[in-house]
Amino acid sequence: MTSLSGVRSQRKNSRPLSPGDMDYIEPKTKSNLMGKLLLLASLIILAFIVINKASSFTSPSVFSRREEGVTHVLVTGGAGYIGSHAALRLLKDKYRVTIVDNLSRGNLGAVKVLQRLFPQTGRLQFIYADLGDPAAVEKIFSENAFDAVMHFAAVAYVGESTLYPLKYYHNITSNTLGVLEAMARHKVKKLIYSSTCATYGEPEKMPITEDTPQVPINPYGKAKKMAEDMILDFSKNSDMAVMILRYFNVIGSDPGGRLGEAPRPELREQGRISGACFDAARGFIPGLQVKGTDYKTSDGTCIRDYIDVTDLVDAHVKALEKAQPHKVGIYNVGTGKGRSVKEFVEACKKATGVEIKVDLLPRRPGDYAEVYSDPTKIFRDLNWTARFTNLQDSLQVAWRWQKIHPHGYASY
């Protein structure tokens, strides 16, 4: 094989290089040099990327380690109406918060509001995940150091539950089991569970106390009761601190105007009466539908205990503060006063200043005539009592947010 030096020697001996030879060789040499420089630059960039990746692996997130004096709370369903208000309160109270939500019912816009309010490192993180995915749940718990869980994530419409019962048992009961198992594996010691007065069904006596028999009459209430039963059975041989809050009909919004209720348009028919009232006041729907006017109540419409969301999240924070190892607390969260649907509609008309058209329709499947709480126990044990009990005032606060955000969080 002829060496390169041999070629040069032969070329030198045969004839001197002409200007034409020089023109032919020089661009090729420059091209090789440029190629080598580009390759070198690419290798340098690649090395920087690898180094940065390696440093990110060796420097764990602040959310992955426990810190003295800081309580890290996992808020499942934290992009939803109640969950986002709870996350706001926790962040204001200096808790570290991780929100997990699959956004099937929640709003990314609510999370963005919270991120803008609390941009500091280590305050808030959002994880898009479905609690029905065991691998995702395990990854969340293995990569984060939680001190407590507030478990809000759930589908929560009575009427919808009668149409799609299996969806409710899977989403509420099965997913709660997955969260509970992950908490046990990773030694997370506090659980604040979001339950409902729907577990009581239609009691014979009012008001409802925590000792009232639980006889739910719709899949939503049944699925929540099953989840409660699992938690209670587990807690008998566990040192976990558990608080179960059974709350009533939630209304209102953040008094600061930062968060509100924004159900998905396709779910409005199943949603809360407050949302339907506001939709009617804004002309999004032709009128407010009152389902059931022949109940055995004073005016024929259902009677409910309407609790302001600000009071509700205050109860959750107090429950978190008071939770004790090896103990279970079960509490009703309500005002202790029942209001009829007709009363609610009149308050909504005054709050919005709109003479809302009302359509009277037959009963909705799965509904019950009268439900309101006895909040004595939660006042005695947690020193909690509802403060925002004026129905019209709570609706006015919520209406302000609705007027400023006619399409919910769509603009975020």
* E-strand stretches of 210-357: 241-247, 249-251, 288-291, 303-304, 306-308, 328-333, 339-340
Cβ distance 171 to 227 under 8 Å?
Answer: no
Q: Backbone dihedral region of 252: left (phi > 0), alpha (psi from -120 to 50 degrees) or beta?
A: left
Q: Which amino acid type is present at position 385?
A: T
Query: Which of 44-62 are b and which e, b meaning 16 or more Cβ less than 10 Å from the residue's Cβ?
Result: eeeeeeeeeeeeeeeeeee
The label of the residue with tokens 């899949």 reads 219
* E-strand stretches of 11-129: 72-76, 96-101, 124-128
220 catalytic per annotation: yes
For the stretch 34-38, contacts whose Cβ atoms lie closer than 8 Å and that sit 24 or more positions apart, written own/partner, are none
How many CB atoms within 10 Å of residue 269?
15
The catalytic residue among 157, 169, 200, 220 is 220
Residue 60 β-bridge partners: none
Counting beta carbons within 10 angstroms of the beta carbon of residue 112, is it exposed (0 to 12), middle (13 to 18) or buried (19 or more)?
A: middle
Catalytic site residues? 220
